[in-house]
């Protein structure tokens, strides 16, 4: 086995520094999927090996020499041990310890997969990936490629996947050149225009205080907008010539401004950063929580004025969405602490990637994230004719009633008549 060194992307570097300076929430993507049907375990093992062979981040470990870097192996072993589980409750118990434990970046492998067999013959695939090698979009790519390779294995073919023409290491080198070049000054100048001169502090009413050095415990509040409410929002969006995201950004900013008694609010918005087609098939850490700075909220006039403003903020922020928030805090505000957004708004659509295992029905097993990096994390998705999701809140800081007041304020603004 040989290894080659590749520089970390800027977002990975910030995660590296955060891991070494704070005791933060484990930054893992995890879940469990029930595989209903007759699974060929050997074919699944061969399919997994094919996916690992195609994607560099699955063969990567992080090291520190003169500076942090990635070491990419040409091959790693991919065995899949089979564990007997009594039911889905035990599956969650078996998966959660890995999910809730920090995978240190210098670990030999930055992901874990368990295959569990239930008494009725179904299997469950439990997975945990460190966010430094995997974002939400990547998860869909992983299962799409696994599905393709498994189908080949079941058809008696060699489950090999075509090599990527543009790799994640190509992306990392490109991003590091950008942040080390003269153009980076232009990036910072752009963000200095978008962000307020002084970093606003959002002081929402609290019920408790977080102990320094401990993770925040997360609880979830259902966030649901029925078909009638969704249709009403769409009419508002059409009239204002904006998107549903613009409505939600404006409503969230106005509600946070009122509850926090501040005129300036910064909202973190996850963005996949795959605007170019050659980035679509990549597994890796490309996504970034982009800061959307809404300033002078109470002076923005009419409903249409505020929505036009929210549109302009979004367009300007997404011109350079790859710069990590921690890097902006350091370069613009001189802050070296590792701090996340108070409020994060995620209304992205998943990638248009279909996957399914041959002869297998794939069913998600719900697993609530018991920790949260944000005070409030609102995730919404369009499902058929309605919008659903959840508002995860730091329960050691805020009671459920505080979360309900926040969600109520947002929905009342989303559904109010245009002014």
∠ at Cα 104 (30, 81), nearest 5°? 55
Number of Cβ atoms within 10 Å of the Cβ of 88: 17
Q: Tell me, what's the pLDDT at 303?
A: 86
Average pLDDT on 26-53 reads: 92
Indicate whether 211 pLDDT > 80. Answer: no
Give one DSSP letter per residue of 389-406, joined into a string: EEEEEETTT--HHHHHHH
- Helix (H/G/I), strand (E/B), else coil: 299: helix
Indicate whether 36 pLDDT > 80. Answer: yes
Query: Lowest mean pLDDT: which of 62-71, 91-100, 350-359?
Result: 350-359
Average pLDDT on 199-212 reads: 83
Could you give phi then psi for residue 44, rounded to 5 degrees?
-65, -40
Indicate whether 276 pLDDT > 80. Answer: yes
Q: Are 113 and 126 in contact (CB under 8 A)?
A: yes
Nearest to 31 by CA among 168, 134, 105, 150: 134
- Sequence-separated (6 or more) residues with CB below 8 Å from residue 308: 240, 242
What distance in Å separates the CA atoms of residue 126 and residue 99, rounded to the nearest whole number? Answer: 9
pLDDT digits (tens, 9 = 90+) for 128-155: 999 999 999 999 999 999 999 999 999 9
pLDDT digits (tens, 9 = 90+) for 374-406: 899 999 998 889 999 999 999 999 999 999 999
Q: Tell me, what's the pLDDT at 182?
A: 76
Pairing relationship of beta strands 216-225 and 123-130 according to DSSP bridges: unpaired
Indicate whether 172 pLDDT > 90. Answer: yes
What distance in Å separates the CA atoms of residue 78 and residue 47, rounded to the nearest whole number? Answer: 10
Give one DSSP letter per residue of 319-382, joined into a string: TSTTS-HHHHHHHHH---S----SEEEE-PPPPS-----TT-EEEEEP---SEESSSEEEEEEE
pLDDT digits (tens, 9 = 90+) for 338-369: 778 999 999 876 666 667 899 999 998 887 66
Segments of 146-256 assigned E as strands = 216-225
pLDDT above 70: percentage of residues in the chain:
94
∠ at Cα 370 (350, 245), nearest 5°? 30
What distance in Å separates the CA atoms of residue 60 and residue 32, rounded to the nearest whole number? Answer: 23
Indicate whether 415 pLDDT > 60. Answer: yes
What distance in Å separates the CA atoms of residue 407 and residue 394, rounded to the nearest whole number? Answer: 14
Could you give phi then psi for residue 137, rounded to 5 degrees?
-60, -45
What distance in Å separates the CA atoms of residue 132 and residue 15, rounded to the nearest whole number? Answer: 7
Q: Tell me, what's the pLDDT at 77?
A: 83
Alpha carbon distance, N-terminus to C-terminus of the chain:
65
Letter string b/e over residues 358-383, b meaning 16 or more CB atoms within 10 A of that residue's CB: eebeeeebeeebbbbbbbbbbbbeee
- Sequence-separated (6 or more) residues with CB below 8 Å from residue 89: none
Token digits for 359? 């002869």
Label residue 123 by pLDDT band (50, 70, 90). very high
Nearest to 126 by CA among 96, 148, 153: 96
Query: Lowest mean pLDDT: which of 31-40, 89-98, 207-216?
Result: 207-216
Q: Are 246 and 307 in contact (CB under 8 A)?
A: yes
Residues making up the chain, counted from first to last: 419
Q: Tell me, what's the pLDDT at 215?
A: 60
Query: Lowest mean pLDDT: which of 22-36, 158-172, 332-346?
Result: 22-36
Indicate whether 213 pLDDT > 60. Answer: no
- Helix (H/G/I), strand (E/B), else coil: 223: strand
What distance in Å separates the CA atoms of residue 64 and residue 67, rounded to the nearest whole number? Answer: 5
Q: Which H/E stretch holds residue 125?
A: strand 123-130
Q: Which H/E stretch holds residue 290?
A: strand 288-294
Query: Lowest mean pLDDT: which of 40-54, 116-130, 180-194, 229-243?
Result: 180-194
Q: Tell me, what's the pLDDT at 354?
A: 63
Indicate whether 214 pLDDT > 60. Answer: no
What is the average pLDDT value for the chain, to the nearest integer? Answer: 90
Label residue 418 by pLDDT band (50, 70, 90). low
């Amino acid at each position: 086995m040989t290894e080659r060194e590749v520089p970390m992307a800027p977002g990975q570097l910030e995660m590296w520094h955060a891991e070494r300076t704070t005791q933060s929430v484990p930054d893992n993507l995890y879940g469990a999927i029930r595989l209903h049907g007759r699974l060929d375990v050997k074919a699944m093992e061969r399919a997994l090996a094919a996916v690992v062979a195609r994607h560099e981040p699955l063969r990567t470990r992080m090291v520190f020499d003169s500076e942090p870097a990635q070491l990419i192996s040409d091959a790693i072993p991919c065995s899949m041990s089979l564990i007997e589980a009594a039911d889905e409750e035990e599956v969650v118990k078996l998966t959660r310890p890995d999910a809730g434990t920090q995978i240190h970046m210098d670990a030999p492998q930055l992901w874990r997969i368990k295959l569990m067999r239930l008494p009725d013959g179904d299997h469950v695939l439990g997975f945990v990936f460190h966010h430094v090698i995997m974002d939400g979009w990547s998860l869909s790519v992983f299962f799409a490629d696994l599905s393709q390779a498994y189908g080949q294995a079941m058809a008696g073919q060699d489950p090999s996947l075509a090599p990527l023409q543009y790799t994640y290491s190509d992306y990392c080198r490109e991003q590091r050149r950008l942040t080390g070049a003269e153009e980076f000054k232009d990036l910072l100048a752009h963000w200095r225009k978008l962000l307020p001169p002084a970093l606003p502090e959002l002081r929402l009413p609290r019920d408790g205080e977080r102990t320094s050095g401990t993770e925040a415990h997360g609880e979830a509040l259902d966030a649901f907008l029925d078909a009638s409410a969704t249709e009403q929002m769409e009419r508002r969006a059409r009239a204002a010539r904006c998107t549903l995201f613009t409505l939600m950004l404006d409503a969230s900013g106005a509600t946070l401004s009122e509850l926090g008694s501040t005129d300036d609010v910064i909202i973190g918005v996850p963005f996949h950063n795959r605007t170019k087609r050659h980035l679509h098939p990549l597994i890796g850490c490309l996504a970034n929580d982009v800061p959307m700075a809404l300033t002078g909220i109470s002076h923005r006039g009419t409903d249409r004025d505020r929505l036009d403003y929210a549109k302009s903020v979004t367009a300007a922020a997404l011109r350079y969405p790859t710069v990590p928030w921690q890097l902006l805090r350091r370069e613009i505000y001189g802050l070296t602490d590792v701090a996340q957004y108070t409020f994060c708004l995620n209304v992205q659509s998943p990638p248009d990637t279909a996957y399914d295992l041959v002869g297998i029905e794939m069913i998600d097993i719900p697993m609530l994230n018991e920790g949260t990096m944000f005070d409030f994390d609102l995730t919404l998705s369009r499902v058929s004719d309605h919008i659903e999701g959840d508002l995860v809140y730091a329960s050691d800081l805020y009671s459920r009633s505080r979360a309900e007041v926040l969600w109520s304020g947002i929905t009342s603004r989303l559904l109010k008549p245009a002014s």
